[in-house]
Amino acid sequence: MTSTVPPAVVDRTGLRSTLRTLKLSEMLDTLDARLAQAGAGQLGHLEFLQVLCQEEITRRDATALARRLRRARFPEQATLEGFDFTANPKLPAAQIRDLAALRWLAAGESVILFGPVGVGKTHIAQALGHQAIRAGADVRFTTLSRVLADLAGGHADGTWTRRLAELARPTVLVLDDFAIRELTATQADDLYKLVRERAGKPMILTSNRSPVDWYPLFPNPVVAESLLDRLVNASHQIFMNGHSYRPNKRPKTAAVPPVTANPS
């Protein structure tokens, strides 16, 4: 008994199975449109295949980008395109835009953004991390206090080595709120080992203090000198000065009309 299923359906079913086996099933999303173009003579055989393959590459690149962004754990998706440089003329816009070229990433150099509260250091740190992710790098965003707490937990439960390895793994580690308060001897030692473990891998630090003011925060001057020599002298230091942006983000309160007493 002959099959009553139209050949076109059989072909499409087989193609769907083949593409799924090759992990190319998303090609079916645009296949009909490309077949129509080929049928109309707009695409030759090689062009048809090239377009399908290029669309698959674009889809995979977009998926990989989204996955790296999720892994980065940015508190917000801040970008350089979304930063208003005109709002604060004191900011070193040319230096920041130069960092966007990512030469520091290729050279394995770090970036230190320091200055008063509210000038946009965290935004720029995330934006540079976002640029690195676009270039294919694996990035992780966190705060120094969270890192120290995580490593302290590792001392308590015997997982310190694994936790240190996880922090050393990303191509770029963004440490927000660096050098806010004095460190204990254990915290300073943990931080030193993290910086040493990440030798040759960039870090992006934000701080309200100038790097020259970091030394007194360490209880042991020898550890401070060794750590900061590795970190500060291999970094691009950007002083971000100016007024705070945060008052501009203050929620607007609707005007409430005054209450008048009802006449008795």
What CATH code is carried by the domain that includes residue 195? 3.40.50.300
Q: So what's the pLDDT on residue 117?
A: 92
d(C-alpha 31, C-alpha 147), whole Å: 48
Instruction: Write the CB contacts of 154 (distance below 8 Å, at least 6 apart in sequence).
Output: 160, 161, 162, 163, 164
> Is residue 255 one of the residues assigned to a domain?
no
Could you tell me the mean pLDDT of each successive run of 10 residues in the chain, 264 residues long?
Answer: 44 68 69 71 72 74 85 94 89 95 96 95 97 96 97 97 97 96 96 95 97 95 92 93 67 55 52
> Is residue 108 one of the residues assigned to a domain?
yes
Q: Note the pTM of the prediction, 2 decimals.
A: 0.76
> Is residue 41 one of the residues assigned to a domain?
yes
> Is residue 79 one of the residues assigned to a domain?
no
Number of domains in the chain: 2
Q: Are residues 92 and 185 in the same domain?
A: yes
Q: Are residues 56 and 126 in the same domain?
A: no
Q: Amino acid identity, residue 170? A: P
| DSSP states along the chain | ----S-HHHHHHHHHHHHHHHTT-GGGHHHHHHHHHHHHTTSS-HHHHHHHHHHHHHHHHHHHHHHHHHHHHT-SS---STT--GGG-TTS-HHHHHHHTT-HHHHHT-EEEEE-STTSSHHHHHHHHHHHHHHTT--EEEEEHHHHHHHHHHHHHHT-HHHHHHHHHSSSEEEEESTT-SPPPHHHHHHHHHHHHHTTTS-EEEEESS-GGGSGGGSS-HHHHHHHHHHHHTTEEEEE--S--SGGGGSPPPPP-PPP-PPP-
Q: Are residues 127 and 244 in the same domain?
A: yes
Q: Are residues 162 and 33 in the same domain?
A: no
> Is residue 243 one of the residues assigned to a domain?
yes
Q: Are residues 223 and 115 in the same domain?
A: yes
Domain boundary among the residues 72, 93, 113 is at: 72
Q: Which residues span the domain enclosing 215?
A: 85-248
Q: Are residues 120 and 223 in the same domain?
A: yes
Q: Are residues 159 and 89 in the same domain?
A: yes
> Is residue 22 one of the residues assigned to a domain?
yes
d(C-alpha 207, C-alpha 186), whole Å: 21
